[in-house]
Amino acid sequence: PINATIVIKGELIDTEGTEYYNTANIKVILSIKDGNFTLGGLFGGDETLGRVTNAALNQFSPEVVEALTPALEQLAEEMIMKYMKSFTGSVPYYTIFPKLHNLNKKPNLTVTFKFVLFHKASLIFLLGPMNPTIRIEGELVQVNGVEYYNTINIKVTESIRDLEVTAEGLFGHDEELGRITNHMLNRFSVEITQAATPVLEQFDEKMFMGFMKSFTGSVPYYKIFPRLNNYITN
């Protein structure tokens, strides 16, 4: 569930004797719970690796939600702003707010409301080619006369292209509203990619770090890098 608080600020403008509502600013505050994220097309479509990666991803879902929320809020603000500009700029104010029309004498108007944006939604990121650059830093440690590789730090740099975003279960599974919303989301795919990339990089770093720590901490160094083992002296 995504609970949204939306604050719309604007002013009345008179055009040829007819009042219209001009949206000046929109602020969206999202509260996201039970985030479920699925990455598709990973590792050349390998189902096993994809399933393992998605399972690991959802272990970090609170961190992913926390990182994505500001970007989703900004995206929602831009989408609603464009809609409000086109809608209220063409429909007379009295037809939008008939009860307020005769009462409101102020040039400025602020509308605040809360609503459940997604009843039960999962955001599915269908990613095109991902070219990660992974830098692993570590050191050799000796345990009972056997050398192991201790991973100290991992840095991942992602390059993502051809992003498609699909949100499911929108508006009580209304197909038409869901289709329109997903179409709008993908119009902002570049912005979403920019917002998602640092999150994915951070997640990959945590995932690789956990894997490397468990793997290299239990497998002797000479078995991992047999050709390098004879050259490493420090």
pLDDT tens profile 17-47 = 888 888 888 888 888 776 666 776 767 777 7
pLDDT tens profile 181-204 = 777 777 777 777 777 788 778 878
pTM beyond cutoff 0.85: no
Is the pLDDT at 119 greater than 50? The verdict is no
The rounded mean pLDDT for the chain is 76
Is the pLDDT at 116 greater than 70? The verdict is no
Mean pLDDT across 56-70: 75
User: How is the chain classified by DSSP, letter by letter?
Assistant: -EEEEEEEEEEEEEETTEEEEEEEEEEEEEEE-S--EEEESGGGG-HHHHHHHHHHHHHTHHHHHHHHHHHHHHHHHHHHHHHHHHHHTTS-HHHHSHHHHTT--SSEEEEEEEEEEESS-EEEEE---B--EEEEEEEEEEETTEEEEEEEEEEEE--B-S-EEEEESGGGG-HHHHHHHHHHHHHTHHHHHHHHHHHHHHHHHHHHHHHHHHHHTTS-HHHHSHHHHTT---
Q: Percent of the chain scored above 90 by pLDDT?
A: 0
Band of pLDDT at residue 111, cut at 50, 70 and 90: low
pLDDT tens profile 136-179 = 898 889 999 888 888 999 998 888 877 777 777 666 677 777 77
| Model pLDDT, residue 176 | 77
Q: How many CB atoms lie under 10 A from the CB of residue 80? A: 17
Is the pLDDT at 81 greater than 80? The verdict is yes
| Model pLDDT, residue 113 | 55
Mean pLDDT across 91-107: 67
Q: How many CB atoms lie under 10 A from the CB of residue 130? A: 18
